[in-house]
A and B are shown apart, each in its own frame.
Chain A
């Protein structure tokens, strides 16, 4: 699957118009020089030869060279991974922390006003575009209330923790928290709404199962019935959604990172497309593919822990 993606990415580059050598060279470069560069880059080789070299480099861990920044693509991507991972997990944390309680409350109070409110909230959350919500939150909490910063990430989580342990200062962590709050809420809102719906639906299904009725007949307390058994079974589809979507989030959220100037992979992807920095775009697409494949595999592994009926073969 991963290799299919790599091949697709290679084919995409071949299909997109534009001569990379024209982009690489100053306007007054002589055609002979351009041709020499084309030759050296192997662009005059047959496509199957180019494909072989491309995949060989990839297997050797060589993602290419960004001519725009005079940097190896690996070096360009490395500092972006941290911010993207932070944002992905923070967003999912926001989503899970709110979604599961909301879903349970909603299920336990089926068809009540509380249930309707949670359902309506979930619908709005799923339907709200990220960019709009981000701008709205910035207007509310940054521009008008002046509570949180508009954008940027001056301090990373690692630096904040290092400051805490080496200097005993919490200012780094506080700064990080202040800067990540709005992007995490913006990005997490959609998943919060989605997981709330799934939790509610799953809980309702499980609470209607025979084993719950039997447990109730045997006098098992409702806390155990609902949280130890029903909720655990509800978590199985949630794990799929969470892990697969973390895979997506790890590729960087283009819109949220752009709105909040968050220096992650999504922002790099956007700027690389704008700058037609193809080696970087290709590398990021490969990371997208790898993240999806990796997180799907992780979801399979987690199934075996949550559901004993599932076994890895």
Chain B
């Protein structure tokens, strides 16, 4: 591939990654086609509740018509491998499917089959998947093993269409992948034992049609779509709206009852006929849209609008905890953060529960570990650091950093709600709690903060900032590895911490049998809490406004499956 093409493809993946996700990107946070108006009450031929469709593909129950979903941003493109914006994923999850899915609505979260019917780690370095038969792409092609092999290679190998957001998932573990069309199996050869390989594959296996992709340029795969999912892209307008229509030959129509299983066994309704994803950057506009019935579901509402939405006749609020951790990194290559006592003191100096209550209006949960509660391996016995100025002062003295000092908390506020207020509260609390420390906030642009979060790349801990606020979300993972692998393990791509005990435990977790992993996760969370590489703040809360025409349960990663959307019965 030529360099120009590489740059374009690398760019699309990387920029998305920065903005969205794993390292603190956008949390806040097409055209409708065929609709005469686009609103639920006026859309062409159907509304969310009035469409008594003849289509009874799944159960014979009446179908929902068009469901309009408004996020802070619009899906940016249709290539499932070359973006990592959450709002784009929320739309494309309906178009491109993975081999398995981590169902976080179960307790504990559990992998359920999708395009793979079964999978097994047959020996330390061989992972075999059985590929489902009878699956059709939207263009009518049948899913073959070669499509799965091609898709995994495309995600892992930058020489095929450029670097993707999933490359890091496969880089260290995938040696080769090949398939057997007769047995309908795909075999992944690993460089080392990885007990979480199934989970990695679940989050990084959006399957594309090999022949279809090879006939198209990168620009075309970013503007068109051909997946196996329950919806096909009807119309896509960059940054405006993405409109999906139901794919009636979806394989899931025949098996959804068995496939979904508990707790979804009460599903007795077809999926909506149409999904429209729209972006409204103003939170107050989203609130008005759901109250007035212009949108059925709006995400990331401002606390100021909660009561208005909840007390309206047409809509209601749903608040829940999401998998996004807000923290302040303390780079242990720099003074005074090279002292464990000092880092702990910073944690004792702040009152994270008060920040959640006062700044976030209770929309979050104070935490003392990197993993969110929904992840396997989360340690429920690790509490947030208590607010204890005396202990903070004592620890600072013990650290030896007793002279007057000024800390500069670097932060950018464009991507998270209440970011500025959070940073100021932290700075004030540190200044008030520890007599010899004055903390100020240095507001930076997102671009400048991205620079200091990443340095020049992996293995450049020195190039990263000393003290900066960040948030991290991403796909559901395991506490023994998720977040630690990127930010706290010394080999992480954005690490600001190096500690031999944590490294050792992390490396043990990589190859540990699955049944030992939860215990390692607990130990990891306890160790990280004690070493305090971060100033732990909170897990953010999510807030949806849902129009009373539909109902669905939020999940911790804020994604939504179409079969979970059903008419609201008032309960």
Contacts and interface: CB of A to CB of B under 8 A. Distances in A.
A76 interface: yes
A150 B451 contact: no
A41 B7 contact: yes
Contact of B238 (A23, A71, A143): A71
A149 B292 contact: yes
A95 B277 CA distance: 33
A138 B288 contact: yes
Contacts of B37: 149, 154-155, 171, 175, 178-179
A143 to B, nearest CB: 5
Contacts of B73: 271
B222 A70 contact: yes
Contact of B447 (A16, A36, A267): A16
B167 A28 contact: yes
Interface stretch (A207-215, A226-234, A273-281): A273-281
A146 interface: yes
A146 B237 contact: no
Interface stretch (B117-125, B372-380, B453-461, B514-522): B453-461
Contact of B240 (A19, A79, A150): A79
Contact of B278 (A29, A259, A261): A261
B294 A151 contact: yes
Interface residues of A, number: 61
A40 B7 contact: yes
A261 B281 contact: yes
A72 interface: yes
A142 interface: yes
A268 interface: yes
Contacts of A67: 7-8, 11-12, 14-15
Give the interface size class of chain B.
35 or more
A31 B456 contact: yes
B76 A259 contact: no
B14 A151 contact: no
Contacts of A188: none
B445 A16 contact: yes
A16 B448 CA distance: 9
Given A68-B16, A143-B291, A259 B285 contact: yes
Interface in B96-114: none
Nearest to B11: A67
B12 A70 contact: yes
Contacts of A152: 38-39, 241, 278, 280, 294
20 contacts: A19-B450, A24-B11, A25-B10, A27-B22, A27-B457, A28-B458, A31-B460, A40-B3, A40-B7, A65-B8, A69-B238, A80-B239, A80-B240, A149-B294, A154-B39, A258-B282, A263-B240, A267-B281, A271-B281, A274-B415
Report the 8 A-B pairs with minimum CB-CB distance, sorted nearest first: A18-B447, A154-B38, A67-B11, A70-B222, A25-B14, A24-B11, A28-B493, A263-B240
